[in-house]
Structure 1
Amino acid sequence: MTLRGQGDDAAVEGAAVAGASTAGAAVAYDCDVLVIGGGIVGLSTAYALTRARPGIRVTVLEKEPGPARHQTGRNSGVIHSGIYYRPGSLKARFAVKGAAEMVKFCAEYGIPHAVGGKLIVATERSELPRLHALVQRGRENGIPVRELGPSQITEFEPEVRGLAGIHVATTGICDFGAVAAQLASSVRDAGAEIRYGAEVTRIDRRADRGVAVRTAAGDIVRGRVLVNCAGLHCDRVARLAGDDPGMRIVPFRGEYYDLARPELVRGLVYPVPDPAFPFLGVHLTRGIDGGVHVGPNAVPALAREGYDWATVRPRELGMTLAWPGSWHIARAHWRYGAGELHRSLSKKAFTRAVRRLLPAVEPSDLRPAKAGVRAQAVLRDGTLADDFLFVEGARTVHVLNAPSPAATASLPIGREVARRVLAQVG
């Protein structure tokens, strides 16, 4: 068998898999399902597989030394209600269902969580129609929404100012890193294997022999079906498997601050989002640790795991710049991007954005916190993939777009991916 090389869609000659079966001989599989990615989606998929079919052999390969080191462990910890998403979309259905399931999961395993709702606040008259549209969308998605006037906003949040607002009662918070750790423990208890420090560098897929992967350490693992839950690297893994994903991951860094005076904010406060963008704007989030996180600012990252401006990976940056969709985004949204870049480089500018919701905040109140990177799928024409994106190939299932609210919706996402996988395993 030959393996496909990293970054090369052609088969790499001479990379024979040691111990591969000869033609006509039975194939010795190490597992039934091979999952690439140990974030919350990959672990939820393994969890769903082991619950749906006890005894199924599942192996999870994660390149980091532990679970949830990227998108799962670098977010604001919000259990989203589903109010933002188009009725009938996977995001809407999975977020509404996933929010209730995530609260139940946290309660079952003693994972810290709270459901106190959140405010979405309009600070300018031009935002009022969008706020009213959110009310309608929430009701269509079956989410309880309460409309608020200025005085009612201050009853929830005394320091927050706005022309109008809505309260969404089903929004909560939790520690998604702890959720991922519990999923990993449950998966192992069910007999699955998780290998950390196992970065996949080559993949060989044959319809009659399943899938074999080689890791950076030189290990070979064979499975009947491969599941790609590689997050920031999912498009690369799809190409390694010989599938054309039809998109590229364009990484956007979300920059956060911690609020030095957390007493200014009681809960969760969001602006009215612009539907032209997949980002929710700078918001205020009281986390499960009691601190208040402010952000994120969204700017292009210079690497898939580029958590600051100093992290630059020329090969990855070159792939982003070579993708036509990236230039379409830049031309269409340069003004929005310039504003985000200005707020990234200027704390005063960032503070002004926060003051729209929280007038009392001062630049000295904002302390830099760890950033996250969003794996945003972008199509060739510059369209930002708006919904979860699953693509199936022979012996493969790829999760190609799973940004927020993927952590919230991870349990139903896992079941959806498991359903597709089991149809191929037979």
Structure 2
Amino acid sequence: MVQVRRAYDCDVLVIGGGIVGLSTAYAVSRAAPGTRIAVLEKEPGPARHQTGRNSGVIHSGVYYRPGSLKARYAVRGAAEMVKFCAEYDVPHAVTGKLIVATERDELPRLHALAQRGRENGLAVRELGAAQIAEYEPEVEGLAAVHVGTTGICDFTAVARHLAEASGAEIRYGARVTRIDRRPDRGVAVLTASGDVVRGRVLVNCAGLHCDGIARLTGDEPGVRIVPFRGEYYELARPELVRGLVYPVPDPAFPFLGVHLTRGVDGGVHVGPNAVPALAREGYDRRTVRPRELAATLAWPGSWRLARRHWRYGAGELHRSLSKAAFTRAVRRLLPAVREEDLVPTAAGVRAQAVLRDGGLVDDFLIQRAPRAVHVLNAPSPAATASLPIGREVARRALAELAAQGR
């Protein structure tokens, strides 16, 4: 009998061409030169969703629970991202930011946030009301925290450079429709165009669709992605804001509230709010995908989340439907802003993993399975932390590759 050698197109097959998927490909190429890497991305280019539709902030790590992946990777990732941007000539700046308390009941939370920042190894400065004007003359508040290591960059440009530097074969326009995983045959992926790509190990970095890709692989992730649309405005008078200004966040939610962010292009983004999207890529109210909406509603965690936090959700929805209400939220920080100063601009969608009991997954979630690694929760600050996240995912992928007898 003649033994036929089974052919593989690559060793590591990454699904998703956002910043996490491309960071993973980059990390694999650095950790194990000679490893064949392929990336499948359904869009015609990289970073078309979460990576390219956010405030462009390099987060310092001040918000996140000490010891969590978010805290460790954001602190480490912020420094690495600045270094990467400098090396590849990507537009960026280290601006610092203010977190401002405008109500008395926010003062204990603001102080706790400063303490958390120090526990995470950050240099933070607590300011009184009069000191706020040193950084932002038009901003008013009772107190503030200044975090000097926060910055801004062009994450889409970062993703493009990661793609080039990884040496991976990147296939754009490759939407995955079926996955066949077998212990003795590796993983075969069928795309909508009819192509079959075979790899030894699959890495799922599909963002808004990561839970669906996990299930196509045959793994039950234990969470579902519930999409939240973040709506932004552009400030018509950008001279009102020098840098980055944030409210004190609600600790029950991973959302940071309506904030003001001067980007690398000199414009000032205002937002986002957070409202349920009616599609995984529902960037406006008109985009409804019944099958995706039905899947969200069929997940018990969606209903439990809604019952638990309906008051918060109602406030966010009100600001979505009423520009006047959104303006009032902004004026808490920036009293000089007028409704006509806010010009609608592109929205984003956050891929938030929700547990069956309605809990929001608070940290990055990475699961390893036979011949697969799934990244199941990587919203903000994942772009900031993408380099260390990529190394961790690459480490698990290479361990799986070794376990399968590469």
Q: Normalising by the residue count of structure 1, what TM-score does the alignment of the two structures yield? A: 0.93
Q: Secondary structure at the match of 1:398?
A: strand
Q: Residue deviations 1:134-154, cap 9 Å, x none?
A: 011000000010010111101
The equivalent of 2:249 in structure 1 is: 273
How far 1:105 sits from its partner (Å)? Answer: 0.1
* Separation in 2, partners of 1:94, 1:138: 14
The equivalent of 1:286 in structure 2 is: 262
The equivalent of 2:319 in structure 1 is: 343
Instruction: Select which of 197, 204, 214 maps to 1:238.
Output: 214
Q: Residue deviations 1:144-186, cap 9 Å, x none?
A: 1001011110111011000000100000000000000111111
The one-letter code sitting in structure 2 at the alignment partner of 1:342 is H
* Separation in 2, partners of 1:414, 1:66: 19
CA 23–297 in structure 1, closer or farther in 2 if over 3 Å, else same: farther
Q: Secondary structure at the match of 1:65?
A: coil
* Separation in 2, partners of 1:278, 1:299: 13
How far 1:187 sits from its partner (Å)? Answer: 1.7
1:405 equivalent in alignment to 2:405:
no
The equivalent of 2:359 in structure 1 is: 383
Aligned residues: 402
Matches within 5 A, 1:8-407: 25-188=4-167, 192-407=168-383
Indicate the RMSD between aligned Cα atoms, in angstroms: 1.0
Q: Indicate the percent of aligned positions where both proteins have the same amino acid.
A: 81
How far 1:381 sits from its partner (Å)? Answer: 0.3
* Separation in 1, partners of 2:351, 2:5: 39
CA 279–24 in structure 1, closer or farther in 2 if over 3 Å, else same: farther
How far 1:86 sits from its partner (Å)? Answer: 0.2
How far 1:26 sits from its partner (Å)? Answer: 3.1
**Structure 1: where are the runs of 5+ without partners?**
1-21
* Separation in 2, partners of 1:135, 1:336: 24
* Separation in 1, partners of 2:241, 2:130: 16
* Separation in 2, partners of 1:287, 1:84: 21
How far 1:24 sits from its partner (Å)? Answer: 7.0
Q: Kindly report structure 1 stretches of 4+ aligned residues shifted beyond 4 Å.
A: 22-25
How far 1:25 sits from its partner (Å)? Answer: 4.2
CA 423–364 in structure 1, closer or farther in 2 if over 3 Å, else same: same
How far 1:208 sits from its partner (Å)? Answer: 1.4
Q: Secondary structure at the match of 2:272?
A: strand
